[in-house]
Amino acid sequence: MNTDASALQLVLAVDPTLVAIVLLSLMVSLSAVLIAAVIGIPLGALIALTRFPGRGMAIVALNALMGLPPVVVGLAVFLLLSRSGPLGSLGMLFTPQAMIVAQAILVTPIVAALARQTIEDLWEEYRDEFAAMNVGPVQRIGTLIWDGRFSLVTALLAGFGRSAAEVGAIIIVGGNIDGFTRTMTTAIALETSKGNLPLAVGLGIVLIAIIIAINALAWWARRTGERYAG
């Protein structure tokens, strides 16, 4: 990376290294959110729609897991994926995949907890109609997820915000390798440590702009969608 460029130049000029870092950041965060959605939404739905002993505890635990400390997750994934760890033979440590795994662990509880709340509220509302229409369990879950989709997107955005802003876990499991596992946040950490504060600030501005852009996109999609589906 051209360390002599000023923050503004870096933001305006399309630096290929910066583009690669941005793309990797997006790839890692969005993959983590995708995995979190695939696991978290059905999990949230399951907890919302079933009654079992210890359910209250499960909900409290899920809500608490939203605040998992990233470094602890990073460390746990690190120990798991290390060559000397139980999954060492996968050779996944210090790869983007390892970062995705760590972030998926951080984001899944957020998505699951928010999805549970959304789906449970909707379920309260729909429950009588479903019973009267004799809707089967699969169609039931599908309908609740589909009708709750706008709120669920907000849950996914919350997860995306967490993963895009996160540095503690991915710097441990990714190793911040130049051109391979260096993301926006780890690059900011590195440039700060090099005393290259203008570049760090520039990267920070880019990161915030991207997060805002994605949220704006989601907001626009939601508004458009609601106009037609309400």
Partner 1 sequence: MTENMRPPPSDLPIAFENVTVTEGSVTILDRLSLTISPGEPTFVIGPNGSGKTTFLRAAMGLVAPTEGRVTWGGRDGVSPHKLAFVFQRPVMLRRSAESNVRFTLSAAGVPRIEHDGRVAELFKLVGLDGLQKRSARRLSGGEQQRLAIARALARDPSVIFLDEPTASLDPAATKAIEDIVRTITARGVKAVLSTHDLGQARRLANDIIFLHRGRIIETGATSEFFESPRSPEARSFIEGDLLV
Partner 2 sequence: MIIRRILIATALCLSLFSPQRSIAQDKSIVVASTTSTQDSGLFEYLLPIFTKKTGITVKVIAQGTGQALDTGRRGDADVVFVHAKSAEEQFLSEGQSLKRYPVMYNDFVLIGPKSDPAKIGGTSDIAAALKSIMAKGAPFISRGDRSGTHIAELMLWKQAGIDIEKEKNAWYKSIGQGMGAALNTAQASSAYVLSDRGTWLNFKNKNDLQIGVQGDKRMFNQYGVMLVNPDKHPNVKKDLGQQFIDWLVSVEGQKVIGDYKINGEPLFYPNANDSGA
Confirm if 45 and 144 have CB atoms less than 8 A apart.
Answer: yes
142 binds partner 2 (CB under 8 A): yes
The closest alpha carbon to 45, from 139, 167, 160, 178, belongs to 139
96 binds partner 2 (CB under 8 A): yes
Write out the DSSP string of the chain.
--TTS-HHHHHHS--HHHHHHHHHHHHHHHHHHHHHHHHHHHHHHHHHH---TTHHHHHHHHHHHTT--HHHHHHHHHHHHSTTSTTGGG--TTSHHHHHHHHHHHHHHHHHHHHHHHHHHHHHHHHHHHHHHT--HHHHHHHHHHHTHHHHHHHHHHHHHHHHH--HHHHHHHTT-TTTT--HHHHHHHHHHTT-HHHHHHHHHHHHHHHHHHHHHHHHHHHHHHHHH-
In the complex, least distance from residue 189 CB atom to partner 1, rounded to whole angstroms: 43
Q: Which of 178, 219, 226, 229 binds partner 2 (CB under 8 A)?
A: 178
Question: Taking CB under 8 A as the rule, does residue 103 contact partner 2?
Answer: no
Q: Which does 131 bind (CB under 5 to 8 A by kind): partner 1, partner 2, none?
A: partner 1
* Residue 35 makes contact with partner 2 by CB under 8 A: yes
Question: Which residues of the shown chain bind partner 1 in the complex (CB under 8 A)?
Answer: 125-126, 128-129, 131-136, 139, 143, 147, 228-230
Measured distance CA(208)–CA(206) in Å, rounded: 6
Segment contacting partner 2 by CB under 8 A, of 68-76, 105-113, 153-161, 170-178: 170-178
Q: Work out whether 38 is an interface residue with partner 2 (CB under 8 A).
A: yes
Q: How far is the CB of 55 from partner 1 (least distance, A)?
A: 21
Q: Which does 125 bind (CB under 5 to 8 A by kind): partner 1, partner 2, none?
A: partner 1
For tokens 């990161």, name the residue.
207
The verdict on 100 binding partner 2 (CB under 8 A) reads yes
Supply the minimum distance, in Å, between the C-beta of residue 140 and partner 1: 9
Q: Is 34 in the site for partner 2 (CB under 8 A)?
A: yes
Q: Which of partner 1, partner 2, none does residue 38 bind (CB under 5 to 8 Å by kind)?
A: partner 2
Considering only 28-36, 51-59, 115-123, 156-164, which stretch makes contact with partner 2 by CB under 8 A? Answer: 28-36
Residue 177 binding result from partner 2, partner 1, none, given CB thresholds of 5 to 8 Å by partner type: partner 2
